[in-house]
C-alpha cells in the first residue's frame, strides 16, 4: 500500500510516499515507512515522530 504524502525528502527534496507493512503476528504492530521516490532515502515513521517530539 503506497500513499503519497505532502512531505519532501530531507536528502534530495523529492516527493515522498508512505508504505505500510501489515504485521503478520498480532503481537507486532504494523510498521510504516516514508520512502523517497527519487533517491533511496527511507525512514521509520515511529522514529521520525520521536525525533519531532524530542527536538
Report d(CA 22, CA 55) in Å as an integer.
29
Q: Which residues between 19 and 38 bind Zn ion (CB under 5 A)?
A: 36, 38
CB-based burial, 14-45: b 16+ in 10 Å, e otherwise: eebebeeeeeeeeeeeeeebbbbeeeeeeeee
Residue 9 lies near Zn ion (rule: CB under 5 A): yes
- Which CB atom, from 28 or from 39, has the smaller least distance to Zn ion? 39
> Contacting Zn ion (CB under 5 A), which of 4, 31, 39, 50?
39
Residue 2 lies near Zn ion (rule: CB under 5 A): no
Residue 41 lies near Zn ion (rule: CB under 5 A): yes
Amino acid at each position: 500500500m503506497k500513499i503519497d504524502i505532502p512531505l519532501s525528502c530531507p536528502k534530495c527534496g523529492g516527493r515522498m510516499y508512505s508504505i505500510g507493512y501489515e504485521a503478520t503476528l498480532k503481537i507486532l504492530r504494523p510498521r510504516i515507512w516514508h520512502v523517497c521516490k527519487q533517491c533511496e532515502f527511507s525512514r521509520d515513521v515511529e522514529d521520525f515522530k520521536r525525533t519531532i517530539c524530542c527536538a
